[in-house]
Structure 1
């Protein structure tokens, strides 16, 4: 009997798929490289798991590269983890507002504290709106400032 094939999000990089997956495995909790398969000169398929979600990276085709409208969202537990991932994923890349990052491989990320997710889904829609407005102005997410906005007080 054959195991059922699984589903994975595939991200195309111009180059460096294996390097990218090994970088992610070192940077993100519960992340590992599962398999590297060379498929031609300067081309490979890399299967990796990021925090329980399966991905595939492919490289070696200049016609493809990651796009901003496809990103990986990572939930963080506290300010220290949020800051660490922000700094690690931005190194050699760029940052945008609201926790968005583009790493040095061109992959786009959203680093989102679970506290923000809870605030945005709170039944108090006015408080949720204040948190949303606050995060829209942040490059570096500050959980204490989000909580202050949510609570209707200044940070």
Structure 2
């Protein structure tokens, strides 16, 4: 087991959420599903936790009963090699969710994600300070990040 992993608290959608995330990302899978036994604190067969892996990182989804709302204070950053990856993850994760600004979104469960092209850091933090400022201003006007438009802004 990893020393540190992420636990996501759901009211009762842990299994659905884990299956959804495993379907969105390559190299992802459900590792274990724990259910209440007869005589447990919940109905026999009801999911308590789901252990799953997304792209090599382990997570635990917990059905905590009472709602625990997710906020943008914690988000998952997805490093994307190209626009195709940005588009694919954006489309999958906003399905039933909502778009925000600067590459941020909330999925159907309320979990926040940042869908970020790998090139972004070199554009908004590049050696051409004026170009970096133009790229930053372009990013601030976007919801889903557009690599070509960011590069064009940087290049002037």
Q: How many residues are paired up?
A: 149
RMSD value over aligned CA atoms? 1.9
Does structure 2 conserve the Cα–Cα contact (< 8 Å) formed by 1:71 and 1:107?
yes
Contact 1:13–1:66 (Cα < 8 Å) also in 2: no
Matched, 1:110 2:107: no
What residue is the counterpart of 1:6 in the other structure?
3
Q: Within the alignment, does 1:38 sit opposite 2:42 as a pair?
A: no
CA distance in 2, matches of 1:126, 1:38: 56
Equivalent of 2:91, from 84, 87, 91? Answer: 87
2:15 alignment counterpart: 18
Q: Runs of 5+ in structure 2 lacking a partner?
A: 37-41
TM-score norm. by structure 1 comes to: 0.85
1:133 is matched with which residue? 137
Provide the rounded CA distance (Å) in 1 between the counterparts of 2:129 and 2:6. 33
Tell me, what secondary structure is at the counterpart of 2:119? helix
Which residue does 1:96 correspond to in 2? 100
Distance in 2 (alpha carbons) for counterparts of 1:54 and 1:117: 26
User: Does structure 1 retain, via aligned residues, the 8 Å contact 2:101–2:142?
Assistant: yes
Cα distance per residue 1:104-146 (max 9 Å; x no partner): 1111111111111332343333322322221111012111000
Matched, 1:76 2:80: yes
Tell me the SS of whatever aligns to 1:105.
coil
Residue 64 (structure 1) aligned with residue 61 (structure 2): no
Where structure 1 has 5 or more consecutive residues not aligned to the other structure, the ranges are: none
Larger radius of gyration: 2
Q: Deviations over 1:22-49 (max 9, x none)?
A: 1111111222222222254455212222
| SS in structure 1 of the partner of residue 102 of structure 2 | helix
Q: Within 2, Cα distance between the matches of 1:43 and 1:60?
A: 10
